[in-house]
A = this chain, B = another copy of it.
Amino acid sequence: MSEQPKLASLDDSIVGRLPSHAQSLFAAKTEKKLTFADLAERLGRSEVAVAAIFYGQATASPEDVKVLAEVLGLDETTLRAQVGGVFPDRGRAGPMPPVEPLIYRLYEIVQNYGYAYKAVINEKFGDGIMSAIAFSTTVDKEVDNDGVAWVNIKLRGKWLPFTRF
């Protein structure tokens, strides 16, 4: 694959599963040649959160909308209606089990280590769950001494103990 920078864009065969703003946001991002890292810096948010807004999996605050409209050259009123006034209908971006190899690997981690996570977390925290709502996540690139690249994903979720009732 080419070494030159590439921008994530929207595969048009996935469009039907996403809210309509996904198309206009991705088109503007492609035209402006902006990465999610560029946008994340402007919005003061995580890159994953910004990409999640594009895919209709996260909400944008009024300030986010303002900045996004400005940076992407979109009409702020329209954008506000699209992503600022909507409660996302999450979870429908792709099929489960995932068929995209990159996403499948994340799924496989849950499949293989799910019970191991549960056992370790239960011992450390008790009976409960790590929230996926009161939650944040980041992706970082690491290059080791041999020049090998590694992906570092951090998941941070609030601990929610099961209520006694």
State whether B103 touches A130 (Cβ < 8 A).
no
State whether A93 touches B115 (Cβ < 8 A).
yes
Cβ of A42 within 8 Å of any chain B Cβ, yes or no, is: no
With known contacts A13-B92, A45-B164, A128–B121 Cβ distance under 8 A: no
- Closest B residue to A9 using CB positions: B86
Judged by DSSP, the binding face of A is: mixed
The number of chain A residues touching the other chain, given as a range, is 35 or more
Tell me which residues across on chain B come within 8 A of A117, comparing CB atoms. Answer: 48, 51, 102-103, 106, 139, 153
- Closest B residue to A161 using CB positions: B1
Tell me which residues across on chain B come within 8 A of A4, comparing CB atoms. Answer: 62
With known contacts A9-B85, A62-B4, A150-B156, A101–B91 Cβ distance under 8 A: yes
A136-B109 Cα distance, complex, nearest whole Å: 10
Give 1 or 0 for each of A144-161: 1 = CB within 8 Å of chain B CB.
000011111111111111
Give 1 or 0 for each of A82-94: 1 = CB within 8 Å of chain B CB.
0011111111111
A91-B17 Cα distance, complex, nearest whole Å: 16
- Closest B residue to A84 using CB positions: B2
State whether B51 touches A116 (Cβ < 8 A).
yes
Contact of A116 among B13, B57, B157 (CB under 8 A): B57
State whether B107 touches A13 (Cβ < 8 A).
no
Shortest Cβ distance from residue A17 to the other chain B in the assembled complex, whole angstroms: 6
With known contacts A94-B114, A114-B98, A134–B161 Cβ distance under 8 A: yes
A152-B155 Cα distance, complex, nearest whole Å: 6
